[in-house]
Amino acid sequence: MIGLLVIGIFQAALLVLLLLTKRNKSTPDYILAGYLSLSALLIFFTWLEIWSRNNDLQILWLTNLRTPLILLIGPILWLYVKSITDQHFRFKPKYLLTLIPFLLVLGLLTVRDFLQTHQVVTGTPTAEPLFNQIFFFIITGLIALSNLGYTLWGLLLIRRYKRALKTFFSSTEKINLQWLEFIHIVALIAYTSISGLYIINGVFEFMSYQVLQQAGYGIAALLVLVIGFFGIRKGSIFTSSNIDFDMERAIDDEDEVPPKLTGEEEIFVHRLLEFMKSEKPHLDPNINLALLSSKLKVSPEYLSDIINSRLNKNFYDFINHYRIEEFKQICKAPESKKLTIISLAYDSGFNSKATFNRVFKKEMNCTPSEYYNSVSAS
């Protein structure tokens, strides 16, 4: 496990170097570099603490500095998620409030050391074991709440982002941050397990502190490597694409009860549906709200409102419904027997096997192969 810590330190440092030297750096890149730098520092301090303990050395300032820094990991990872999921992200002074737990624990540890030093100098009777145990549970509880709270908050941001994507894109497979959502779920399980073990072990002392420490930071090192690797490769859709459409507002509009359909809107709905049948824009794998609205000579906002409130769908479901209908028609053609199912899906406008299977099963309540076989049999 010690070896994993050393690898984690050097890999995190290398990832920071790659981030800071890449071209066209964005705000999320700088935040990710900060997260990786802080993680590398924490893992290094942990390795140094374990090394000093194994060599009968005591570095008092190390624990006092390392422990509060843990409370910055959750906020800075949350800030990274916020920066790549918020279309209008700007750093705001209120984000500095996330530093309060860090400052609180730093202050508590400083007060504890002052009181203990004062007791030694003055010869005042001390209840040090109880004193330290109370501090242990307070700080462990704060760390657990911080890690779990910010991880859950990050998950909520990712889920809302995925919903927002479907108001503009017809295919989200490569930009839906599935990797980051998976990491958050794994981190949530890991943080819950490790925090629970720390607290239970503080009462029953069934495991050495060093084993717990190495396990916790070993898992942290793995998470850091995965986040850094994918963060460099994937980036943010908002910084790599110029999207002149407010996806956040579109989500809010989905939840509103629409007024009665006006005559003008009814005419446009008819024109939209006729256009979909005759021009088949869904066959373009890269079709999005902006492209379709330009073909119809209306604003993306107007088209989004019509699809959401009048057709009760988001853009993603609207386009993929037509792709599924296209697939069903192609399946009935005699020449389709010479092609694979995925080839037929690509001919229908899909560009991802996973997306095709998922949306088809959701709409048809059967798999594409089951439908294909039933059509072939008849």
The answer to whether the beta carbons of residues 199 and 163 sit under 8 Å apart is no
Co-location of 215 and 283 in the same domain: no
Co-location of 178 and 274 in the same domain: no
CA distance 73 to 144: 12
Backbone angles phi, psi at 231, to 5 degrees: -60, -40
Three-state DSSP at 288 gives: strand
Query: Which of 222, 240, 258 is where one domain is finished?
Result: 240
Co-location of 208 and 331 in the same domain: no
Q: What is the pLDDT along the chain (378 residues), one digit of tens a residue?
A: 677 788 888 888 888 998 888 888 888 889 989 999 998 998 888 888 888 888 877 776 776 788 899 999 999 999 999 999 888 888 999 999 999 999 988 888 887 776 665 454 444 444 455 556 777 788 888 988 999 999 999 999 999 999 888 988 898 888 888 888 988 888 888 888 888 888 887 777 777 777 777 777 788 788 888 887 787 777 665 555 556 667 776 666 665 655 666 778 889 999 999 999 999 999 999 999 999 999 999 999 899 989 988 888 999 999 999 999 999 999 988 887 888 999 999 999 999 998 999 999 999 999 999 998 888 766
Distances, alpha carbon 74 to alpha carbons 143, 144, 154, 335, in Å: 9, 10, 9, 56
The answer to whether the beta carbons of residues 284 and 349 sit under 8 Å apart is yes
Backbone angles phi, psi at 288, to 5 degrees: -140, 180
CA distance 332 to 237: 38
- Residue 85 sits in which domain range? 2-240
CATH (domain of 353): 1.10.10.60
Co-location of 50 and 148 in the same domain: yes
Backbone angles phi, psi at 169, to 5 degrees: -105, 150
**Largest separation between any pair of C-alpha atoms in the chain:** 96
Co-location of 84 and 164 in the same domain: yes
Co-location of 135 and 227 in the same domain: yes
pLDDT reported for residue 125 = 46
Residue 347 CA neighbour count, 13 Å, CB half: 15
CA distance 195 to 59: 24
Co-location of 253 and 236 in the same domain: no
CA distance 324 to 41: 51
The answer to whether the beta carbons of residues 143 and 104 sit under 8 Å apart is no
Co-location of 134 and 185 in the same domain: yes
CATH (domain of 8): 1.20.1070
Co-location of 281 and 183 in the same domain: no
Co-location of 103 and 58 in the same domain: yes
pLDDT reported for residue 288 = 93
CA distance 195 to 206: 15
Co-location of 224 and 93 in the same domain: yes
CA distance 322 to 277: 9
Three-state DSSP at 169 gives: strand
Co-location of 259 and 218 in the same domain: no
Query: Which of 240, 258, 279 is where one domain is finished?
Result: 240
Distances, alpha carbon 38 to alpha carbons 221, 285, 303, in Å: 12, 41, 45
Task: Using alpha carbons, select from 277, 285, 282, 372 the residue that is nearest to residue 332.
Answer: 372
CA distance 5 to 283: 49
pLDDT reported for residue 286 = 92
Tokens read off for 80: 């990274």
Give how many domains the chain has, as a whole number: 2
CA distance 191 to 151: 9
The answer to whether the beta carbons of residues 35 and 183 sit under 8 Å apart is no
Query: Which of 240, 272, 293 is where one domain is finished?
Result: 240
H helical segments located in 166-314: 178-204, 209-234, 237-240, 247-254, 263-279, 289-296, 300-305
